Amino acid sequence: MTLSTTFLDRLRCLTRRRPSIAWRRFLALGLALLAVSTSFWPDVGHPAVVASRDLPAGVPLSSADVRLVSLTTPISGSFPGVDAVVGRTLRDAAREGAPLTDFDLAATSGDQVSVAVRVADQGLADVVRMGDRVDVVSPSAEVLAENASVRETRGQVVVLTLPRLNANRVAAMSLDHALAVTLR
Q: Parallel, antiparallel, or unpaired for β 66-71 and 143-154?
A: unpaired
Supply the pLDDT for residue 52. Answer: 92
Q: What are the tens digits of pLDDT across the range 159-184?
A: 888 888 888 888 888 888 888 888 87
Q: Residue 157: is its pLDDT beyond 70?
A: yes
Most confident region among 5-9, 31-35, 37-41 by mean pLDDT: 31-35
Which residue range forms the structural domain that includes residue 145? 112-183
* CA dist 11 → 1, 5, 7, 19, 178 (Å): 19, 10, 6, 14, 88
Percent of the chain at pLDDT > 70 equals 93
Confidence of residue 31 (pLDDT cuts 50, 70, 90): very high
Q: Give strand pairing partners of 66.
A: 51
Can you name the residues that pair with 160 across neighbouring β-strands?
115, 150
| Residue 104, amino acid | D
Q: Which residue has the higher pLDDT, 1 or 33?
A: 33
CATH number of 94's domain? 3.90.1210.10
Domain identity same for 82 and 127: no
40-82 pLDDT, tens digit each:
776 667 888 999 999 887 778 888 999 999 888 888 888 888 8
In this prediction, residue 151 carries a pLDDT of 79
Q: Are 178 and 119 in contact (CB under 8 A)?
A: yes
In a domain, 51, yes or no: yes
Tell me the average pLDDT across 108-133. 78
Q: Is the pTM of this model over 0.85?
A: no
Distances (CA, A) of 95 to 42, 151, 157: 29, 16, 24
Residue 89 shares a structural domain with residue 116? no
Position 155 in a domain: yes
pLDDT number for residue 110: 61
Is 51 in the same domain as 76?
A: yes
- Count: domains in the chain: 2
Residue 120 has pLDDT above 90, yes or no: no
What is the distance between the alpha carbons of residues 56 and 159, in angstroms, rounded to a whole number?
13
* Ordered DSSP codes for 95-143: -TTPBPBTTTBPP--TTEEEEEEEBS-HHHHHH--TT-EEEEE-TTS-E
Q: What is the pLDDT of residue 4?
A: 60
- Whether residue 172 sits in one domain with residue 147: yes
Cα–Cα distance between 130 and 132 in angstroms, integer? 6
Last residue within a domain, chosen from 58, 78, 99: 99
Query: What is the pLDDT, as a whole number, of residue 67?
Result: 92
| Averaged confidence pLDDT in the chain | 82
- 124 and 175 assigned to the same domain: yes
